[in-house]
Structure 1
């Protein structure tokens, strides 16, 4: 650690989080595009998370569903695609080339090899046959605009072909070509998820051709993705960056050097911010509360979370695989969880031992009312359920 390296304490990190993640009323955004740009990526594994994460940060939360659908499916200024850690996210469309080159390419090549090998072991047609089916399916998708796997199979019947995966193993199963191939094409950035079959909470999506984007140099793309993320989420440690991106530590270090990231001192050790962001950041003028959904990008943003989430709260707020459930925030800390009951009521439970008084209770109750109002008659159950969410939802 060099002489003069500035120490950034937990309080300042929480101030940065509040302002840059648009969690205070004064910083709320006018559009879903602005929310996504501020966060870099919205978790898309659970479709409802995208809308709930936007609604928590939108100045006119009543417009959340209509505006987010406009951005995703009409204007296509946001796109749902595979990204970091093999996970589905929603990104600003202008970031798709960066995500594809920085993270998609490294995943796509072995994924295609695995599919070809799995088919060969099952005695299925070879790579040339698969390529022919792929090109036919992409052409059909271009004609149709958007389509489900079933609809595409009517245009290209070979998508219905099946093969046995892992024959003789305990996890043996029968795979349909469409299931594996369409997922691969998504990872390769050739197709993206389109409008769902049902409501905005549905996880059954149509497919569409991915927005055209230039092919970027992977190292340059990694530097750009890291720059954007550190701008939104810095400071962060190497471990945080490696976890969030899913890259090798050598990739993280090369990208940090490429953007001339500046070292700072954190309670966890050495952290990094983008050049020009070393100076102090003042706390928001007013205390704030927020109800964030399961898998929210703020709650899932860092590997080391003690500065905003007390370790003793994790067992109640995370599932067994490390997925965070709905969380209640007060002034930059997670203080509890929330759930929606069958009658639509939003209920909260405060788990923190201290620091949550009458003012916090009133602010949290107001956020619960705001959320219930824009949800209206829609019922949302998180895809990954946690102990406190399941108890509250009864």
Structure 2
């Protein structure tokens, strides 16, 4: 008997899967921040506003994202902000945190602590004993306070205000704060967590709080089992994906990726990019129009456009330069039926504007306009109606959508500027 031929999953079917599984199709939207995070596995947290915007794009009309995300992060703690893949801060479902810690963050924390001790030894008189005592004092202070900013902790624990010389004798030589590195290490080790920020939900000036302890069984999760758990969740949300996609997303060694794929029984399928993988119970066909056409405005660093290394099946390569920065970080995007078709931004006066980079037709333009109004309704910005097609250099062209009038409700009229600026976002926001 001949070998069984791998099933082919084309780009149209992948886009249909994306619409439903990433809660972007209108009938697939979620009722809570926890449902969104559970469906996506991880929300990029490097830019605090992106977490709220990513959830808001996927919630039903009846749910307000700001209050819902703050409840989940700071009251129920059903979501947790922590370092994850590629040394990046993410927001994860709390139930998945032990697997992330054991598979990814824990090993990185070991390297981070080793590096810190080396730098302290090279640039100061501080040693491992001094660092351990400093950490003990920080944890004791947080246990009393409940939560505190780095500045407040520095006032209570003077050791944190110490500095040391980083990269002594090299071109990178400079003065480094002990506080920032110590708090980073404690956070990566899962001993403290980022709490409610100072200011609005767009602020990155977080308070620190003691971590909620996991069960004894979770705390000793085997790294291989943890990698399998993380890959199982990710393939359920983002499969099919190639081995290169998985290696890029996790930041793991290729041997660890292959081991996790084998552990979950991943099945190879044929993609335009080559061999991809899905979970063994995820081979049933999905029709290319299954969720129906949908529109979405997604924020910078949204987990959907940042989910795969190979992106041609949802992004025209000609539009990459306009929508990504030089480090590969994506800016705010406009989506139509599983494809990126443009970008959006918020101007200094609060107005939400967008530009389409491809012709999508009148029905799509109306749907995108409705999503722009929905975003403006809770972010507190104005929005207009006309849309068109343009390029990043077509400044002031009819492809810009925006108007002066708008709502000042929901998020209280805050201004959102992505941490990583991209060419089209810069142009539109200006």
TM range (shorter): over 0.9
Matches within 5 A, 1:137-152: 137-152=138-153
Residue-by-residue CA offset, 1:138-178 (whole Å, 9 max, x unaligned): 11111111111111122221111111111232221111211
Bigger Cα displacement from structure 2, 375-384 vs 244-253: 375-384
Q: State the TM-score, normalized to the length of structure 2.
A: 0.89
**What is the aligned partner in structure 1 of residue 410 from structure 2?**
none
1:327 matches 2:352: no
Instruction: Give the match for residue 219 of structure 1.
Output: 224
1: CA distance, partners of 2:426 / 2:235 = 34
Task: State the 1:2 CA deviation.
Answer: 4.9
Q: Which residue of 2 aligns with 1:357?
A: 361
Aligned residue pairs, count: 392
Cα deviation 1:320-354 (Å, max 9, x = unaligned): 111000000000000010111122221111112x4
CA distance in 2, matches of 1:172, 1:333: 45
Partner of 1:267: 272
Residue 255 of structure 1 is matched in structure 2 by 260
Report the secondary structure of 1:113's partner residue. helix
Q: Which residue of 1 aligns with 2:428?
A: 392
Q: 1:61: Cα distance to partner?
A: 6.3
| Paired position in structure 2 for 1:311 | 317
Offset, 1:369: 0.4
- Contact 2:19–2:291 (CA<8 Å) still a contact in 1? no
Tell me if structure 2 keeps the 8 A contact 1:236–1:272: yes
Deviation at 1:4, TM superposition (A): 2.1
Q: State the match for 1:102 in structure 2.
A: 103
Whether contact under 8 Å (2:56, 2:65) holds in the other structure is: yes
Structure 1 spans left out of the alignment, 5+ residues: none
Cα distance in 2 between the residues matched to 1:285 and 1:228: 21
The match for 2:377 among 365, 373, 376 is 373
CA contact (8 A) 2:350 2:415 kept: yes
Q: Say whether the 8 Å CA contact 2:335–2:342 is kept in structure 1.
A: yes
Change (3 A) 1:66 1:373: same
Instruction: Report the TM-score, using the length of structure 1 for normalisation.
Output: 0.97
Q: Distance in 1 between matches of 2:292 and 2:43?
A: 26
Between 156-165 and 330-339, the greater mean CA deviation after superposition = 156-165
Conserved? CA contact 1:289–1:364, under 8 Å:
yes
Match of 1:131 in 2: 132
Distance 2:203 2:114 in 1: 31
Deviations 1:53-81 (A, max 9, x none): 00000003661111111111111111100
1:176: which partner in 2?
Answer: 177
Q: CA deviation at 1:122?
A: 1.2
1:224-243 equivalences under 5 Å are 224-243=229-248
- 2:334–2:341 Cα contact (<8 Å) kept: yes
Tell which has more relative contact order, 1 or 2 (C-alpha 8 A, sep 6+): 1
Q: Could you give the per-residue CA deviations for residues 102-145 of structure 1, whole angstroms, max 9, x where no partner exists?
A: 10122111111110010001132110111111111111111111
What are the ranges of 5 or more consecutive residues in structure 2 without an aligned counterpart?
381-412
Bigger drift between 316-325 and 144-153 goes to: 144-153
Which residues in structure 2 correspond to 1:335-350 (within 5 Å)? 335-350=341-356
